[in-house]
Structures are given as structure tokens and as C-alpha cells.
Amino acid sequence: MTPLAPADTSPASRRSSLEINQTLALLAQHLQPQRRIVHAGEPLYRAGERFDRLFVLNSGLVKIVNAAADGREQVAGLKFRGDWLGFDGIADGSYRCDAVVLDTGEAWVIRYEALLGACVDSRALMTALHAAMSREIARDRDSMLSRCTLPADARVAEFLSQWVNSLACRGLRTDQIALRMTRAEIGNYLGMTLETVSRALSRLARDQVIGFASKGRRELSIPSADALSAFVQRCIAPPETIAAAATSC
């Protein structure tokens, strides 16, 4: 049997994993949150429900879903270990989207009023809360830029690269990942058709940037996270840059 590959141990990944653990420790110390086991398909909350709590993932994976005016669902985000959920409910007092579990895990339930009170007494907890909000804003901006500016193949590669980076920041293995989303869901998230997503994945496999595991098309091997990033750069590089690189080889 092939041994498991070690998790990413780069300084940046260790720092991110440490920050997640420190935040969870602060929450446990000051709030003793309810720990809730969640299962695939289960909603953490639904759009329209009254907002009174936030959630922090200790394990598992959650998708954020918006409902369009015509009833269609739009996957708007993915949440991994250490991510906060529910910020969209603060302004109007009700959640604006659905949070649906993709993979069995554990969510910490935090009463919002109790969190505000604890932040008065703990500057470190307030800093962690503000950092989580800032990361969400930055992530939403990056996701929008990716959908608006990258060609289809690069968009899928960038999606996989972000998934791998999220795992690395949490100290998890990145050489093999299980996509908990169907190709249709990935296309919905990236603004692409199912067929376009499938063609992009096939091209990535032909270029040996990814590999398909024998046990299922959702199981991917990632030989190199850097190769994913390089693929994105090749897709968006000006033609003269690509030609110059080929000439120098």
C-alpha cells in the first residue's frame, strides 16, 4: 500500500493552520460554543431564517447557495475548516443564502450577542473576528475576478488551485483531493456549463497537471500545486510571451 503523502509543511501553511487553531482555542475559552456534527446534504441555515448566530467549521465542507429570482440556485462560495459562516445575516437580521453541508464534519455554533460581549473583554477574539470578515471580503473579490477575467480552462485550474491551497493552509494533504461537488455544481459556481467543466478537466489531465483516480471521477491526484498555478499563467499569458518561452526551451 502506498503511504499517505505528508501534508503541506511550508511556513505559510503552518502559519495559517496555527491561526485557525488559535481562533478555535479563543472561541472555546471565551464562549464554549455548541459543537454540532453535520452531515452531507444538511443545511446549517436557510435564507430568510432569523439571524442570531454564526458558525465556524472545525471540520468538513460547506457550500453557500443563493437563490436567483427565477428560482435557480447559484453556488456562491465554499467553506473549509476554520471558516466562519453567517456574516451575511448581520446587516438585515436574517440570512441571505443557504449554507449546505457537502461533507460530514463539525460546526461550532456561536450566539452573536454572546460573541459581541466576549469581544469587549478579549481584544484577541475581536481581532480574530475582524480577520475572518476581511478574509471573506478578499475571497469574494478574488472569486469575482476569476470568473470575470479568466478563460474556461484557467478558471477550472484556478478553482482547483484554491481548493488545494485551502487544504494546505489547514495542514491537510494536497496530493490527492476528493471533490465533493458534481461537475454541474462546479460549473454553476464558476459560471460555466457542465460540458465546459468536463472539457477543462480533461485538458488538465492530458497536460498531466491532474490525474483521475481509478475509483471515481471525483477523486483527483494533484502532482504539483505549482503546476496548477503555472497552467493558469500559461492560459492568460500574451501569445508573444508563450512563443518566446517555447523558443528558449
pLDDT tens digits for 167-184? 888 888 889 888 889 999
- Does residue 13 share a domain with residue 125? yes
Q: What is the grid cell recorded at 90?
A: 448581520
The C-alpha atoms of residue 225 and residue 166 are separated, in whole angstroms, by: 11
Look up the CATH number of the domain holding residue 233. Answer: 1.10.10.10
Stated pTM of the model:
0.84
- Does residue 202 share a domain with residue 113? no
Best CA proximity match to 157, nearest among 110, 209, 102: 209
Please list the helix, strand and coil fractions of the chain in percent, rounded to the nearest 5, in that order.
Answer: 50, 20, 30
Element (H, E) at 233: helix 225-236
- Does residue 111 share a domain with residue 14? yes
Average pLDDT value for the chain: 87
What is the gyration radius of the CA atoms in the chain, in angstroms? 19
- Does residue 163 share a domain with residue 130? no
Q: In the prediction, which pLDDT does 238 show? A: 59
pLDDT in tens, 229-242: 999 988 887 555 44
Look up the CATH number of the domain holding residue 110. Answer: 2.60.120.10
Reported confidence tier of residue 217, pLDDT bands at 50, 70, 90 = low
Mean pLDDT of 74-89: 94
Count the domains in the chain: 2
18-27, 79-88, 197-206, 234-243: range with lowest mean pLDDT: 234-243
Count CB atoms within 10 A of the CB of residue 150: 18
Mean pLDDT of 8-24: 79
Would you say residue 143 lies in a domain? no
Would you say residue 96 lies in a domain? yes
Cα of 114 vs its chain's centroid, Å = 27
- Does residue 177 share a domain with residue 82? no
pLDDT in tens, 104-153: 999 999 999 999 999 999 999 999 999 999 999 998 888 887 878 889 99
Q: Does residue 1 register a pLDDT over 50? A: no
Element (H, E) at 84: strand 84-85
Would you say residue 70 lies in a domain? yes
- Does residue 93 share a domain with residue 60? yes
Which of 79, 105, 137 is the last residue before a domain boundary?
A: 137
- Does residue 162 share a domain with residue 128? no
- Does residue 82 share a domain with residue 178? no
Would you say residue 1 lies in a domain? no
Domain span at 129: 9-137
Mean pLDDT of 12-18: 78
Would you say residue 208 lies in a domain? yes
Count CB atoms within 10 A of the CB of residue 58: 18
25-34, 40-49, 212-221: range with lowest mean pLDDT: 212-221
Which of 109, 137, 165 is the last residue before a domain boundary?
A: 137
At residue 94, what are phi and psi to the nearest 5 degrees? -150, 150
Would you say residue 101 lies in a domain? yes
- Does residue 158 share a domain with residue 103? no
Which of 78, 112, 137 is the last residue before a domain boundary?
A: 137
- Does residue 167 share a domain with residue 123? no
Would you say residue 142 lies in a domain? no
Q: In the prediction, which pLDDT does 244 show? A: 46
The C-alpha atoms of residue 173 and residue 167 are separated, in whole angstroms, by: 7
- Does residue 184 share a domain with residue 97? no
- Does residue 82 share a domain with residue 184? no
